[in-house]
Structure 1
Amino acid sequence: MINRLLAAAAMAIFASAHAAAQDPENTLILELEDGPVTIELLPEVAPNHVDRIKSLTRDGFYDGVVFHRVIPGFMAQTGDPTGTGAGGSDLPDLKQEFNATKHERGVVSMARTSDPNSANSQFFIMFDKTPSLDNQYTVFGRVIDGMETIDGLNAGTMQNNGAVANPDKIVKARIASDS
């Protein structure tokens, strides 16, 4: 019985990764210093947010951007070119696309201010389940490979200027279909 359950779990993981590989246009690859992270984008639940992520990725916006906020057991946040958590792209903010996808381990969601329509370029990856974020932030993807790399991110040290010392960064971000 246990072997059957393990086999079923392995097949489910393979099917998820295989499904993303079948849609390279909606697969984001983050090359981090310690290895790649593959994210399945979810245009069916957040089309405008997925379009924004793909556009910024193709423009090289995320290349070299740090993980400026890493809270073990909660989430890791990136997407601010200033590294302070206060920056974003020059594009207009996005209207929220809250959806039924739960904020659980590996889910990727847009960061925002207290205004629900203020998401721009920053996003976070969940370390664990946090139901209080459900229907409050726009989920647009999920990690399908490389979560152990996210688990190993350096939390860094906050400096007086608001920046983080010694943070991990995205070396290169790309959409799989562009490779």
Structure 2
Amino acid sequence: MPNRTAILETVKGTIKFELKETEAPITTKNFIDLANKGFYNGLIFHRVEPGFVIQGGDPKGNGTGGSGKTIPLEIAPTLTHKKGAVGMARSQDPNSASSQFYICIEDAKFLDKNYAVFGQVTEGQNVVSNIRKGDKILKVTIQ
């Protein structure tokens, strides 16, 4: 079965990314479940680091919120933090990822082996580069 695609509709345009379900089954299931519940709809990108990442998925909008459940750190050696990689944000506890995710604007290999990559942008990397702090995620759907 081919991997599914996440479609993020934002105020700046659409970002599509392939979900790496075989390599990161726990992480992708968590993201898919949240997306299917409408969890991400209306949330903002609360963190934007030019040349590094955009980050969203926090219902509090300040980097401290989550879905109320955490998942274990899931590292797949074949998934690296290259431009367009989608990963799960977390606190210092490696097993604290919840709902916050980030998308790499450029390569960020220093994150490899420390953060779970679970997707790769296939369309809309230009939109990723144009996201600014506070920009809204209108809707996330899974195809």
Higher helix fraction (1 or 2): 1
Per-residue CA deviations over 1:34-89 (Å, capped at 9, x if unaligned) read: 21110100011110110010000000000001000000000000010110100000
- The residue identity in structure 2 corresponding to 1:82 is K
Give the deviation of 1:104 after TM superposition: 1.1
Partner of 1:132: helix, strand, or coil?
A: helix
Partner of 1:56: helix, strand, or coil?
A: helix
Tell me the distance in 1 between the aligned counterparts of 2:86 and 2:132.
Answer: 18
Higher strand fraction (1 or 2): 2
Q: Which has the larger radius of gyration?
A: 1
**TM, length-normalised to structure 2:** 0.95
Tell me the distance in 1 between the aligned counterparts of 2:35 and 2:108.
Answer: 27
Query: How do residues 22-101 of structure 1 correspond to structure 2 at under 5 angstroms?
Result: 23=2, 26-90=4-68, 92-100=69-77, 101=79
Per-residue CA deviations over 1:97-152 (Å, capped at 9, x if unaligned) read: 11211101000000001111000000000011112100100000010001111110
Tell me the distance in 1 between the aligned counterparts of 2:5 and 2:81.
Answer: 19
For structure 2, the residue ranges without an aligned partner over 5 or more in a row are none
1:148 counterpart (116, 126, 132)? 126
**TM, length-normalised to structure 1:** 0.77
- Structure 1 residue runs of 4 or more that deviate by more than 3 Å after TM superposition: none
Query: Mean Cα displacement is larger for which, 63-72 or 25-34?
Result: 25-34
Partner of 1:117: helix, strand, or coil?
A: coil
- The residue identity in structure 2 corresponding to 1:172 is K
Tell me the equivalent position of 2:136: 169
For structure 1, the residue ranges without an aligned partner over 5 or more in a row are 1-21, 156-166
Tell me the distance in 1 between the aligned counterparts of 2:21 and 2:10.
Answer: 24
Tell me the equivalent position of 1:164: none
1:124 counterpart (85, 102, 109)? 102
Give the deviation of 1:96 after TM superposition: 0.8
Tell me the distance in 2 between the aligned counterparts of 1:57 and 1:102.
Answer: 23
The structure showing larger relative contact order (alpha-carbon pairs under 8 Å, at least 6 residues apart) is 2
Tell me the distance in 1 between the aligned counterparts of 2:92 and 2:104.
Answer: 19
Percent sequence identity over aligned pairs: 42
CA RMSD of aligned residues (A): 1.2
